[in-house]
Structure 1
Amino acid sequence: MLDVFGDYSARDPLTALARAARSCPYQEPAENGGLYALGSEDVRRLLLSRDVWSERSTDQRLASMDEQDAARRRALKRFLAHWPVFSDAAYHDRIRRVTVRLLRGTVTPETLSACARWADRRLAGTDGEPVDWLRDVARPMALEAIVVLVGRADAARLVRLGGAVMDELATARIDMARIDRALAAVEELRAWLETARSDPPTPLTARLGALWDDPAYGPESATALLTQIVTGAYDPTTTALCVVGEHVDSDILARIPLPSVREEVLRIATPFRFASRYARRPITVGPYRLDEGERINLCLATANLDPEQFPEPLRIRDRGNASRNLSFGAGKHYCPGAPLARAVVEVLLESMRKSGVHFRVEHVEREPELPMLRYRSLTGRLVPAAWTDR
């Protein structure tokens, strides 16, 4: 059994996820509701199936809450319903096309050069001093991706606000304090966009401003899209860059082509480990039957560690350049920001290979929740390739 509600801050969840992928294809509903599908074949099939979709059904847990708490929970759910990742049907098709257009051209040579300069600077001249990989490498490089989207002046602020929304999404339980912080952050994000659209700092901001004024979308959709883009670009990229520091050494960089290493990093990272779907009609999943509206939780992380699909799943291997992992989803909900995340990760790998160093971890601490991989601390030292066997 996979402990969905366990505290994983001090233990690596990869072992538990890989064990579940190997031996536990299904897990019955927990307190948050919904069957869990853990095997790669089922997860991929359901991501592509027309029998399920992302639009959320009624949350039965609201019935046990007082009306004030339930109202705040419903308000956040209404906002999230405007995100492309949590929507479906005609609205999803329209907002996804908008999102793809918004993100087109964001992987610029200038962005990659800025990331490369930062990586080169941090990987050189440390003289064996302790390095805070999360603070000094992963977060600044991921922030450069946000800068190209919303401008440098407010990038860090928007990341902080988006982080409050991600905190609520990261927990499998209803947590009213997190809900309140998320709602407050949404109001600040809405206020920022309302102001920024009059003098947009970037092309993406200008397009979001046009979406705000478009009666077919309006302020709610524009704010939702801003929030999903910021959080979707920053958090997964930060996580993947931390996985590079924790798992990639000089031997891997010497033996395996960088595109393959990049895909393995993203496979192991799987920043968002679950994708919820809801039955559009009665369906059968393995030995289980789901009625219309019932929830199934697709575990992308266990699918990416399924030995039937990825032999020796905990090892970084050359599995070819063709990506078969599900870190960015699949089908019509495939993440349109994937090229940006891939590009930033490959910049760091190239800088590490060029500098001839890798990161030797001395202390790692993660956020406790299983649904998302996020780091609290990742410290250690940079080690030249010639020292790796000492």
Structure 2
Amino acid sequence: MPSATLPRFDLKGWDREDIAHPYPVYRRYRESAPVHRGASGAGGPETFYVFSYDEVVRVLSSTRFGRDARVASGDADAVPVPVPAEYRALRAVVENWLVFLDPPRHTELRSLLASEFSPSVVAGLRPRIARIAHELLERLAPHRAPDLVEGFAAPFPVLVISELLGIPREHHAWLRENAVALQEASTTRSRGGTGGYPGAEAAAREFAGYFRREVRARRGDDRGDLLTLLVRARDGGAPLTVDGIVGTCVHLLTAGHETTTNFLAKAVLALRARPHLLDELRTAPELPPGTVEELLRHDPPVQAVTRWAYDDTRVGDHEVARGSRVVALLGSANRDPARFPRPDVLDVRRPADRHLGFGLGIHYCLGATLARAEAEIGLKALLNGLPWLGEGGQQVDYADDMVFHGPTRLVLTPPGAPSPLP
């Protein structure tokens, strides 16, 4: 993006260098226009981008902003989620995601799920999470130039959430493939055209058929997994439809795997750029308590979240009309020097003072406790299991996505091994 001026900001169309390291771009806007009226498509809503920590906190915690475009616009026929109307299966899945719901549906569903992501439940999962990490490292070891995303960071969270949902191991590769296809419909990846929508629509149909069959199989059965819990809650009178169960399962699978995958890949890149810190963390019996939190603050896997203005209000120096789209830049807020001293420095002993890597407010990440456990166990397994992790060469390709942000490919070449072909 141009540096001499401040053009209309957009999350689409970034060059490769800025995608890999967006923080200088954020800093230019945060210093000159911490709330910025951005580019809006023809006939689209007015859009504001929020870069400063305090204003991002206000947007995420205020009831003046929500997730439903229909409420914001006052138009019952408005598109409820950012999916074109012709992709009916995809819309049916996505509009039941917890992240797109407002109270009371959001409150009811979150309350139902919360017990399964409690610290005590996650503590009981830790040995299984560690076993999954160990098995993946054993498969990765024989490769001369392993792709850390394909071989570890991507399958690791899929395997974990699949165990929680009660999905058989033989279906895991298929689930990962469809989860990736679904993510290609991200608004920043699609660039306003059809983009990955056709593939995401096909994946949504596959997911809907699969989870509907799983719902039927669990009626009258008690397998002790999260999917069974949802089915039993519905059969017991909870305000939950089959479509709601399907959407919830797909949401947990896709959101949970994409964020942890990005975290692990970016954490490895950050530590490879800081070999002294990498060596310190490797030799420590356990990761210092603030390690995961600081890595999340420094380079979060989710860079931006969208809200809609439910009332006429003011954000920064701007009057924001009801119906406007407001995009909170979590990655920028986490580097705001007004909140975090020396924000560009990665300091694992920094106090974990309310970074926004997991969001804030009623949409604070439901699976944050599980995500922290995956991040801690997965990162320590890589540090212990790959003694050359900080050495040799690397090839990195980032997804063309400024929301779910991270490498799609991270090929590591151990010292002395021939470099792989690009």
User: TM-score per shorter chain, which class?
Assistant: 0.7 to 0.9
SS at match of 1:174: coil
Equivalent positions of 1:240-259 (< 5 A) are 240-249=263-272, 250-255=275-280, 258-259=288-289
Is 102-111 or 70-79 further displaced after alignment?
70-79
**What is the Cα deviation at residue 329 of structure 1?**
0.6
2:374 aligns with one of 344, 362, 368? 344
Q: Give the 3 Å change call, closer, same or farther, for CA 373–48 of structure 1 in structure 2.
A: same
Query: Distance between the aligned counterparts of 1:115 and 1:23, measured in 2?
Result: 46
Is 36-45 or 110-119 further displaced after alignment?
110-119
Q: How many matched pairs?
A: 376
SS at match of 1:197: helix
Question: Does the CA-based 8 Å contact 1:149-1:202 persist in structure 2?
Answer: no
1:113 is matched with 130
1:374 is matched with 406
SS at match of 2:337: coil
Q: Give the 3 Å change call, closer, same or farther, for CA 348–122 of structure 1 in structure 2.
A: farther
Say if 2:13 is the partner of 1:6.
yes
Q: Give the 3 Å change call, closer, same or farther, for CA 123–72 of structure 1 in structure 2.
A: closer
In structure 2, what residue type is equivalent to 1:134? V
Q: Give the 3 Å change call, closer, same or farther, for CA 167–52 of structure 1 in structure 2.
A: same
Query: Distance between the aligned counterparts of 2:51 and 2:88, measured in 1?
Result: 29
Give structure 2 stretches of 5+ with no counterpart: 1-5, 282-286, 417-422
SS at match of 1:248: helix
Q: Give the 3 Å change call, closer, same or farther, for CA 298–340 of structure 1 in structure 2.
A: same
Question: Does the CA-based 8 Å contact 2:52-2:332 persist in structure 1?
Answer: yes
1:330 is matched with 360
Query: Distance between the aligned counterparts of 2:238 and 2:376, measured in 1?
Result: 40
Query: Distance between the aligned counterparts of 1:346 and 1:336, measured in 2?
Result: 17
1:388 is matched with none
1:179 aligns with one of 197, 215, 235? 197
Query: Distance between the aligned counterparts of 1:382 and 1:323, measured in 2?
Result: 37
Q: Give the 3 Å change call, closer, same or farther, for CA 205–79 of structure 1 in structure 2.
A: closer
Q: Give the 3 Å change call, closer, same or farther, for CA 273–73 of structure 1 in structure 2.
A: farther
Partner deviation per Cα, 1:83-102 (whole Å, 9 max, x = no partner): 11111121111111122134
Q: Give the 3 Å change call, closer, same or farther, for CA 202–367 of structure 1 in structure 2.
A: farther
2:111 is matched with 97
2:52 aligns with one of 11, 23, 39? 39
**What is the Cα deviation at residue 21 of structure 1?**
3.6
**What is the Cα deviation at residue 124 of structure 1?**
6.2
Give structure 1 stretches of 5+ with no counterpart: 385-390
Query: Distance between the aligned counterparts of 1:220 and 1:243, measured in 2?
Result: 34
Partner deviation per Cα, 1:158-210 (whole Å, 9 max, x = no partner): 23223233221242643335333333322221211121124457611212333
2:310 is matched with 280
Q: Give the 3 Å change call, closer, same or farther, for CA 140–89 of structure 1 in structure 2.
A: closer
Equivalent positions of 1:161-310 (< 5 A) are 161-171=178-188, 173-200=191-218, 203-210=225-232, 213=235, 216-249=239-272, 250-255=275-280, 258-310=288-340
Partner deviation per Cα, 1:255-285 (whole Å, 9 max, x = no partner): 5753322112222332222211112211101
% same residue: 23
1:27 aligns with one of 36, 39, 54? 36
1:85 is matched with 99
Question: Does the CA-based 8 Å contact 2:36-2:48 persist in structure 1?
Answer: yes
2:64 is matched with 51
2:172 is matched with 155
**What is the Cα deviation at residue 77 of structure 1?**
4.7
Question: Does the CA-based 8 Å contact 1:8-1:367 persist in structure 2?
Answer: no
1:362 aligns with one of 394, 398, 414? 394
Q: Give the 3 Å change call, closer, same or farther, for CA 209–50 of structure 1 in structure 2.
A: same
Q: Give the 3 Å change call, closer, same or farther, for CA 221–156 of structure 1 in structure 2.
A: same
Q: Give the 3 Å change call, closer, same or farther, for CA 224–186 of structure 1 in structure 2.
A: same
Query: Distance between the aligned counterparts of 1:77 and 1:123, measured in 2?
Result: 37
Query: Distance between the aligned counterparts of 1:8 and 1:275, measured in 2?
Result: 21
